[in-house]
Structure 1
């Protein structure tokens, strides 16, 4: 297991590279050029700049999250070929600085959705919260306003250039079905996967967050069946999955441990986080500790350990604790605590394995 940490760039993150390198076992950053609109080519000098910034602190840049997919590709419009070519060019550029994994998603319009970014919990911390009934009654524009309000930092998945076209996008998706979206994903993958494989990069799709339809928009990466279908679209080691225990785990019907067992060879990148799911379908993000949520985090780590996982892993969203002022879900303190919990489980499994080998 190779531990990495998401970083949004100089001037766009409350967490510094100096702080990241002090977290035990963290070897690299998970990064992107967040100011470049989806579909555009990334300037090579900017890519090199981030690579050099990380190297100064002994960190690598082997995981990118995300090279966003333009909506025209998801919609299957004739203009998609231009944006796919830009995507291919970005893959080639990223390979030159040592990128091994590109995490991406294929969610229409919204990459993720929450109804409260600072829900107060019993211990006084705050966390990202999803109220299922509220999402059915809220106007999408109201949700956008609540998520982007008073934010001096970019919100991944809620980029201004996309949200400014919200009404038009909803109109465009009105006739797009889930089967259409699968067809458009297949078209995209058939074009980019051969290039990624040639350049030693694994394209790792992120599950839908949450893993069900919102605002009537189709969502297709929701559980084990969808992962099987994805992997059948293009037979290549570069066609792979970002296994996010929090996104899939928002639906308790998803058995994350079982999914790791089935798909471990196609998981180059893991997001490990916990959520507490309530009986009415609401969920809140918790600490990484197994007992604090619905996801068996200890079991998740054990599954990776049993299958000899050598891919990249990052603690996903954390709570806001100790008065930290940060991008929602992306502070330093709780994510660092999460890393140490994950390492604790991993190290205990390593010790147990060593003892078993000695005794045998």
Structure 2
């Protein structure tokens, strides 16, 4: 198990690499050039600068999250080939600096949706919260404004330049069906997978978060059958999944333990986090502990230990605890606790804690 930690860069994160270095067991940093808008080529010089900085702290920089896909590719309009060519060049440039996995998603417009960035929990902490009725009856522009005002830092999937075009994007998606989105994903993968494969990089698609349609937009990575269909698009060894227990687990019909058992070998990258699902469809993010949420984190890690999973894994969103001021969901403290919980489970399931290489 190769434990990693997501980091948003020197000028876009409250957490430093020196902080992360003090968390036992973290081997790598999951990174990106977050200030670049979707569709731009990631130039080698910028990549090298970030990778060299990460490595200077003793971490690897094998995993990028995310090289975001331009909406033209998802919509399938006349501009998509230009942006696909840019994506191919970015893959080549990242490979030159040792990147092994690129996480991406195919969610229209929004990478993820929450209705409150800091919902209070009974213990006095706060966490990301999804209130179903708010999403079903919301003013999208108002929600976008709330997200932008919740932090001085760029939030992935809710970048200001994207939200400034929100009305036009929603209009373009009006006639896009789920089948259209599947066809556009297939078109994209058939173009970029040969480049990824020849450069030794795996592409790992992230599930929809939450895993059902929102705001009338189509979503196609929602459940086990969707993961199976995605893998049938191409048998390239570079065609893979990012398993995310919190994203998939937001739908109680998704058995995340069963899903990891079926797809661990096709998942070079894992996000492990817990959420508490309410009967009305709301959910809130909790500590990583199995008993605190609705997802069986213990049995997910148990299976990973049984197959001696050697891919990349990271704790995902954390609560905001101990008065930490941070990017919503991405503070240091609770994610560090998540690392220790994953480490503890892994040790317990592997020969009584025998040291693993």
Query: When the two structures are superposed, what TM-score results if normalisation uses the length of structure 2?
Result: 0.98
Q: Offset of 1:56 from its aligned partner?
A: 1.0
Q: Offset of 1:352 from its aligned partner?
A: 4.6
- Which residue does the alignment assign to 1:36? 36
1:130-279 to structure 2, matched below 5 A, reads: 130-279=130-279
How many residue pairs are counted as aligned between the two chains? 354
1:4-153 to structure 2, matched below 5 A, reads: 4-153=4-153
SS in 2 for 1:240: strand
RMSD: 0.9
Aligned equivalents of 2:65, 2:316: Cα separation in 1: 12
Q: Deviations over 1:160-192 (max 9, x none)?
A: 111111000000000000000000000000001
Q: Offset of 1:157 from its aligned partner?
A: 0.5
Q: Deviations over 1:308-332 (max 9, x none)?
A: 2100000000000000000000000
Aligned equivalents of 1:272, 1:353: Cα separation in 2: 20
- TM-aligned CA distance change 1:12 to 1:353, over 3 Å: closer
The answer to whether the Cα contact below 8 Å between 2:116 and 2:129 also exists between their aligned partners in 1 is: yes
Q: Deviations over 1:29-50 (max 9, x none)?
A: 0000011010011121110111
Aligned equivalents of 1:223, 1:46: Cα separation in 2: 36
Q: Offset of 1:67 from its aligned partner?
A: 0.2
Comparing 260-269 with 122-131, which one deviates more in the overlay? Answer: 260-269
Runs of at least 4 residues off by over 6 Å? none
Q: Offset of 1:151 from its aligned partner?
A: 2.2
Aligned equivalents of 2:100, 2:56: Cα separation in 1: 20
SS in 2 for 1:33: coil
- Which residue does the alignment assign to 2:2? 2
The answer to whether the Cα contact below 8 Å between 1:129 and 1:284 also exists between their aligned partners in 2 is: yes
- Which residue does the alignment assign to 1:305? 305
Aligned equivalents of 1:229, 1:289: Cα separation in 2: 31
SS in 2 for 1:38: coil
Aligned equivalents of 1:184, 1:281: Cα separation in 2: 30
SS in 2 for 1:60: coil
Residue segments in structure 1 that go unaligned for 5+ positions in a row: 355-360
Aligned equivalents of 2:298, 2:264: Cα separation in 1: 16
The answer to whether the Cα contact below 8 Å between 2:211 and 2:250 also exists between their aligned partners in 1 is: yes
Q: Offset of 1:353 from its aligned partner?
A: 9.1
Aligned equivalents of 2:353, 2:40: Cα separation in 1: 48
The answer to whether the Cα contact below 8 Å between 2:347 and 2:353 also exists between their aligned partners in 1 is: no
SS in 2 for 1:340: helix
Aligned equivalents of 1:156, 1:118: Cα separation in 2: 17
Query: When the two structures are superposed, what TM-score results if normalisation uses the length of structure 1?
Result: 0.97
Q: Offset of 1:351 from its aligned partner?
A: 2.1
Residue segments in structure 2 that go unaligned for 5+ positions in a row: none
Q: Deviations over 1:46-94 (max 9, x none)?
A: 1011111111100111000000000000000111000000000000000
**Does 1:284 find its partner at 2:284?**
yes
Aligned equivalents of 2:265, 2:232: Cα separation in 1: 14
Aligned equivalents of 1:153, 1:145: Cα separation in 2: 14
- Which residue does the alignment assign to 2:323? 323
